[in-house]
Structure 1
Amino acid sequence: MAATDMAEAEEPAKSSKKPLIIGVALALILGGGAFFALYSGMILGGDAGADAGHGAGGKEGAHGAESAPLDVAFVPIEQMIISLGPDAQSRHLRFEAQLEVGPAYQQEVTLLMPRVLDVLNSYLRAVDMAELEDPTMLITLRAQMLRRVQLVTGDDRVRDLLITEFVLN
């Protein structure tokens, strides 16, 4: 009899996995519901004007409030062909971009385009070939070129540099 009491005492009590499974399932369901509520705009006030175009009072085809005219203008940077160093596998870089400016500064930035072309040409010639060939470096190159353009034109004139063509030949 003492042996059976000892054997029972040595066996650990098995815990039920049912509460763990229920807890995980509830967490997944609640997490999914919270994601849907936030994503659809039910929580934190989604687009209140989105339903304005639906129903009797809305305009046909309207979706949301009337959009204000964009306060932006684009100044094209003409296509540049930059010759790369003699040890480069690619011989030329073909580059084209647009400068995003405020409409009030469009004429001023257009007048400064020779300086912009000069600073971009100088910078792109100095960049290492490995950086030009790395697709992840395009973001860094774009930021560097934007900063140089802003130095030439003035900080408040050029908002962004949009690269439309970047081809190594």
Structure 2
Amino acid sequence: MSDIAIPAEEAVEGAEKKRSRLPLLIGLVLAIGAGGAGFYVMQSGLLMGGGHGAPARVQGMPDIAYVPVEQILISLPPGAPGRHLRFAAQIEVARANAAEVTLLMPRVLDVLNSYLRAVDPAGFDDPGAMTRLRAQMLRRIQIVTGEGRVRDLLITEFVLN
């Protein structure tokens, strides 16, 4: 077998030696420190928020308002998955801008009506269609109302029948 033989005393002595726990403790301390640092960075807005433009953390409800968009009924062309599209939404705005956006609602309805009539109805079956439509409508509303007034568009009804 092997020409080198380990004396029995040395073999038992090496097996009884305990492994050091220092690397485990150092790893644990570093993991806790990294977790704490990551929590601080995310909570303070240093990452993915930039500090500027991030919504202020307020107890209770944020300073927002929702402006309702009247229901829009659009006739779809022949061969579409349905005959009509029924659409309704809410526009999320800062409370201070709610009156201005409400005043501009006829223009918002016009731009939404024009856009929805121009969309190819065959695209409604695509799984990503709602996200794409929402982004396009939001951008058009932001252009009509002016930059910084509208935060988001919440689609409350999108029915093909």
The Cα of 1:68 is off from its aligned counterpart by 5.1
Q: Would you say the 8 A contact 2:72–2:88 is kept in 1? A: yes
- Identity score, percent: 62
Name the count of aligned residue pairs: 117
- 2:70 counterpart residue number: 78
The Cα of 1:133 is off from its aligned counterpart by 2.4
Structure 1 residue identity aligned to 2:82: S
Matched, 1:149 2:141: yes
In structure 2, the CA distance between the partners of 1:42 and 1:138, relative to structure 1 (3 Å rule), is same
Which stretches in structure 2 are left out of the alignment for 5+ residues?
1-26, 41-56
- 2:155 counterpart residue number: 163
- TM-score normalised by L of structure 1: 0.61
Matched, 1:116 2:140: no
- TM-score normalised by L of structure 2: 0.64
Selected match of 2:99 from 102, 107, 117: 107
Matched, 1:132 2:124: yes
Matched, 1:44 2:70: no
Which stretches in structure 1 are left out of the alignment for 5+ residues?
1-29, 48-64
In structure 2, the CA distance between the partners of 1:45 and 1:168, relative to structure 1 (3 Å rule), is same
1:47-62, aligned counterparts within 5 Å? none
The Cα of 1:86 is off from its aligned counterpart by 2.2
Once residues 101 and 58 of structure 2 are traced to their aligned partners in structure 1, the CA distance between those partners, rounded to angstroms, is: 30
State the 4+ residue runs in structure 1 displaced beyond 6 angstroms: none
In structure 2, the CA distance between the partners of 1:154 and 1:66, relative to structure 1 (3 Å rule), is closer
Once residues 148 and 68 of structure 1 are traced to their aligned partners in structure 2, the CA distance between those partners, rounded to angstroms, is: 31
In structure 2, the CA distance between the partners of 1:143 and 1:102, relative to structure 1 (3 Å rule), is same
Q: Using CA pairs below 8 Å that are at least 6 residues apart, which structure has the higher relative contact order?
A: 2
